[in-house]
Structure 1
């Protein structure tokens, strides 16, 4: 007879946790006493959200693992046994009623089966009539007894639920309803240790950032960036992670890793495609430190592989809510390790993440980075000057995309978004509006005239409209700035309508990216333009191709013009963009977009 060891997992701490995107891997260690021969180690109160295929059992000791059995208990079976005498009495009566019901149902089945075996050859008509009377009387009595016992069972179940009250299926019974049975064969009695590893859902982590930028007052375009990298962790797995070695991973386990394969394409008459056969997947449980082949001699106890996590002082508070920063306390820094397809962050110290659904923040690192500042303005849409940082990730940490609080010169200015960046990648981050750069963008002026074209013998008239847009810029900072200003010239969709760039001078004939000097303070260029047509300076939709120069936009519209303006402290300038639209006399046109 096998020896049984019962373990309530909720009474044993979790050893370590690795949190992935939307999942987590949990490692538990259980010390057990084995007797010589076969033993069943029954581990209950494991999370219901456990992924069965991820379950793995390893161990230490001279024993053989014969089987690992996964079982999902119903909430009713997961209710703890009652201890009161009244509850025990009702349970005893309920068990007796269920046995009685089983006997009655067996009698009904026997009587029914016997009635189906009778034929006219076996009995006389008188015997048949006598049997039918017996069947009616006896069958009726049995049915009444079955109904009576079923009613009593239902009443007893209600009484039991009322008596047990708090022992009806609870949230804990629902969330911790997994049972794992490990069948172990030991040569002799003694101590052993089981390591149970599994993946659970209902756990997630996401990055959070505090970006603190300090503008160099010397007028240089470089600045220092302090990036506070944190993780927000939530879990409702049903088990509390108390004082665990915590690590974070950027990978997503259990995602499809099958490399797709191309199928041949053929041209022919239409036909009905056959449905792909459903693939079957075989579930298996991993062995581990024990030998897993029955009959093989037990191997020597192996070395235990555990998750490395340095034991350092617990993390301190990282920031004050939206206020000017105080001197930083020393923040524990996570160890980063980058694999072939992911990066892992090992959080120093021990962390506690209860299963309450609330967010719990842990520090990953405080990174000191360098950045290049850019002032960007699109006054046609917004007359503010936006300050953007081109940041190089010079650390060893992978930065995941996530929200960021932005502090500029010690003051909270905006909320922004950090883009995904591997080590040595450069990414952009907007740090808000700079009120020290003042921009005026008055309405565009229009001037219409009739223009004669052609020769004396073949003349025609055109309706021309001259548009002039002025942009005034003033730098009230104590340092110099370099401002990128974006505007646009409309693009013709029809050859009948011509768009000629008048000012800045020479911009119309310039190619995309060719710099045109406007003044001592400014140059301009086409951000998107490339043509080779006779009418120099005419911007047509069909002659444009996407040629990107200097602009940091991912998608650049047709006809976009950019200026690079360098302004010293207290200096200002005015930019002028002028274009003329010519159309056959009487032809109507409109600007769309």
Structure 2
């Protein structure tokens, strides 16, 4: 009687050696190979990589077999290989190994054409360079004639006087030949540049169609044995580069209910070399490529910098390089000491809780390996919130709507971009950092024109007091500002108004007689000197005004920054 049962093993390999294997009774080399018609069934996407699970079901007879997963992607991390199997009772799994085969297939027609074109262009370059050498020899010959003519003509003048026609013919001959020579050299230089540009373009195309990844086939071989005939399902998992994801939120504010609906989407991008078709997709915050081992803790020593003698080759450099010698010496010194150890990469299985946060998409999805973004819904939650407006009219005369939100879920909120919607209208982008469970955070929802803010200079009076007809040594300026906030919303609005009063950083500058029509709720808000805060609760159509008056006194001849 046949019984199917899972082979209770999951093997993970590091450096090609299994951490745990069953005893191998016979040599694997004699096992019959079975090609695996596999498909990707699940993918866990990390912020900088992805863990891919492939599955294949094969029909086997009693004995030893080797299931071969062929044509694995080049970006597969062999150290992360993980295997598992399920089949009839008595099925044994002996681990896994990777196999590389260097192909000796004939070159494609395009590769042959490109290779021939490159060879022809390189021959043309050699020919053009040969012509340039011949032109150089010709110029040397013409220069020798010119030199000979310059020395021979004075000697000829002793015996006979050359005619004007003879002199003109000689000069014309040399000038014409030298001009032709220079033009020919220039033409060959241009031709060589064009040929080299064409060669580079063809070489780039040749590299694309005949890269090293296409000349090597990598396979994963999974040896196993069965004592009963039946079907065995084999799964392999491996880490690949070229994939990533990031969280993006849609925040929809509901004033009436005092809530914010926060919908999380995962934006995934992958160029791993294989499409993920109808797979179970999981998003994880784990960063397996970052390593799990802390760098060694080393002491930090300070000591006087000791200039070191420059190497011989440095002494031969130009004189101005000496100014960089102390920097170079310090850089050399920094390299002395204990060499840092290579970080150990840890590959963790995605699961809820523990050291990571995971989200599993509820339906099978397809993500193509073309670098395009795929936005997938992950989860939605409604969080309790209170709404407030904040304004700093000295910087911008707008009221910014914000939500004070409580993360009442059991999972942290990941940092990311937030698309803000209020009453169904899109207001823009916001964002937040990581928010722990139970933590309250502020979510900026953008400018709301329903609350109007103004800041007006009512008066600016400069005291020009004279003493006995002589100007006072100090100058006093009195300012009066008026802040106006008006609520045009159909509901009560809490508005936090901030204003920065001048703060002196010099004993000669005095700020005196500060008066306000409404007492601020907080002075020196969050230990920021001179920043005052008013908390206003405005009914619909209600307007509030705050008048601020102060005097600034300083030496008359002193220009004051910021005044």
**Is 1:65 matched with 2:94?**
yes
Partner of 1:538: none
Distance change in 2, residues 1:69/1:493 (3 Å): same
Partner of 2:75: 49
Please name the residue that 1:233 is paired with: 268
Is 2:251 aligned against 1:254? no
Verify: 1:482 aligned to 2:494, yes or no: yes
Structure 1: distance between partners of 2:346 and 2:441: 43
Distance of aligned partners of 1:591 and 1:186 in 2 relative to their CA distance in 1, 3 Å threshold: same
Structure 1, unpaired ranges of 5+: 91-166, 217-221, 287-305, 308-336, 454-459, 506-516, 529-546, 549-555
Residue in 2 aligned with 1:5? 33
Contact 1:451/1:461 (8 A) holds in 2: no
CA deviations 1:290-309 (Å, max 9, x no partner) are: xxxxxxxxxxxxxxxx98xx
Query: Are the structure 2 counterparts of residues 501 and 195 from structure 1 closer, same or farther at C-alpha, using a change threshold of 3 Å?
Result: farther
1:465 aligned residue: 477
More displaced stretch, 264-273 vs 349-358: 264-273
1:411-442 CA-to-partner distances (Å, cap 9, x unmatched) read 22222224322322222111122212112222
| Cα deviations by residue, 1:77-119 (Å, 9 ceiling, x for unpaired) | 397999xxx9xxx9xxxxxxxxxxxxxxxxxxxxxxxxxxxxx
> Distance in 1 between the 2:226 and 2:542 partners?
89
Tell me if 1:571 matches 2:542: yes
Unaligned runs of 5+ in 2: 1-28, 113-205, 307-332
What is aligned with 1:195?
Answer: 235
Residue from 400, 423, 443 that aligns with 2:437: 423
Give the count of matched residue pairs: 406
Offset, 1:586: 3.5
Aligned counterparts, 1:68-79, within 5 A: 68-71=97-100, 77=103
Q: Secondary structure at the match of 2:522?
A: strand
Partner of 1:242: 277
Q: How does 1:156-555 map to 2 (within 5 A)?
A: 174=213, 179-182=218-221, 184=223, 186=225, 190=229, 191-216=231-256, 223-265=258-300, 272=333, 274-277=336-339, 279=341, 338-443=352-457, 445-449=459-463, 462-504=474-516, 518=519, 523-528=520-525, 547-548=526-527
2:533 alignment partner, SS class: strand
How far apart in 2 are the matches of 1:400 and 1:32?
42
Q: TM-score, normalised by structure 2?
A: 0.63
CA distance in 2, matches of 1:355, 1:223: 42
Structure 2: how far apart are the matches of 1:390 and 1:281?
A: 41
Change (3 A) 1:59 1:452: farther
2:7 aligned residue: none
Could you give the per-residue CA deviations for residues 37-76 of structure 1, whole angstroms, max 9, x where no partner exists?
A: 66444322212111222112233463352651253x66xx
Secondary structure of 1:254's match? helix
RMSD: 3.8
Q: Distance in 2 between matches of 1:245 and 1:435?
A: 45
Asked if the contact 2:383/2:407 (under 8 Å) is kept, the reply is: yes
Distance 1:243 1:182 in 2: 25
Give the Cα–Cα distance (whole angstroms) in 2 for the partners of residues 566 and 171 of structure 1. Answer: 71
Label 1:59 to 1:170 Cα distance change in 2 as closer, same or farther (>3 A).
farther
Partner of residue 555, structure 2:
584
Shift of 1:183: 5.7
Label 1:245 to 1:463 Cα distance change in 2 as closer, same or farther (>3 A). same
Q: In structure 1, how many angstroms separate the alpha carbons of the residues matched to 2:221 and 2:345?
A: 16
| Contact 1:79–1:168, Cα closer than 8 Å, also in 2 | no
* 1:27 equivalenced with 2:53 (yes/no): yes
1:561 to 1:452, Cα distance in 2 relative to 1, 3 A: farther
Find the residue that maps to 2:245 and give its secondary structure. strand
Give the Cα–Cα distance (whole angstroms) in 1 for the partners of residues 343 and 295 of structure 2: 17
Residues 447 and 281 of structure 1: CA distance in aligned 2, closer, same or farther (over 3 Å): closer
- SS of the equivalent of 1:239 reads coil
| Distance across 2 between alignment mates of 1:572 and 1:171 | 74
In 2 relative to 1, CA 393–351 (structure 1 residues): closer, same or farther, beyond 3 Å? same
2:208, 2:509 → 1: CA distance? Answer: 77
For 2:318, the equivalent position in structure 1 comes to none
Could you tell me how far apart the structure 2 residues matched to 1:38 and 1:210 are? 54
**CA distance 1:176–1:452, shift in 2 (3 Å):** farther
Give the aligned partner of residue 553 of structure 1: none
Q: Per the alignment, in what secondary structure is the counterpart of residue 286 of structure 2?
A: coil
The question of whether the paired residues in 1 share the 8 Å contact of 2:295 and 2:343 is answered with no
Q: Deviations over 1:129-176 (max 9, x none)?
A: xxxxxxxxxxxxxxxxxxxxxxxxxxxxxxxxxxxxxx9976999489
After TM superposition, the score normalised by the length of structure 1 is: 0.60
- Structure 1 residues 30 and 433: alpha-carbon distance in aligned structure 2, compared to 1, 3 A threshold: same
For residues 300 and 242 of structure 2, the distance between their equivalents in structure 1, rounded to whole angstroms, comes to 42
Tell me which residue corresponds to 1:313: none
Alpha-carbon deviation of 1:377? 0.8
Aligned partners of 2:293 and 2:343 also within 8 Å: no
